[in-house]
Amino acid sequence: MSNKIFLSCEEANHTCDKTQYNDATLWEKIKLTLHLAYCVACRKYTKNNTKLTHLIKQKSVKLDIKEKTKMQSVLDKELAKQNNN
Ligand SMILES: [Zn+2]
């Protein structure tokens, strides 16, 4: 399993498919949500699946504070790396 936080579109679509069968981990769903935040193409792809959109909304709400803090620190680190390029 890949540790990087930014998914390629191919990976995002694969994760999208996995979530439909409840086969994706929470971390994979978080990464997918992040990808959708900046990738218009994949937003269009997932928009065709209302079930998934509903799932992401549900999970986002249910993220507890510990997960959010962890996610934020990882994201900050990755963004800092990107800015150094
Ligand atoms: Zn994408």
Distance between Cα 37 and ligand 1 center (Å): 9
pLDDT of 25-81, one tens digit each?
Answer: 999 999 999 999 999 988 887 776 655 556 556 655 556 667 777 778 887 887 788
CA of 44 to the centre of ligand 1 (A): 9
Q: In Å, how far from its chain's centre is CA 19?
A: 11
- pLDDT, one tens digit per residue, over 37-49 is 999 988 887 776 6
Burial readout 27-58 (b: 16 or more C-beta within 10 A, e: otherwise): ebbbbbbbbbeebeebeebbeeeeebeebbee
- Which single residue is written with the structure tokens 């800015």? 83
Question: How far away, in angstroms, is 32 Cα from ligand 1 center?
Answer: 9
pLDDT of 10 higher than 60: yes
Q: What residues have CB less than 8 Å from 11, skipping those under 6 apart? A: 2
- Cα–Cα distance, 27 to 31 (Å, whole number): 6
CA of residue 46 to ligand 1 center, whole Å:
10
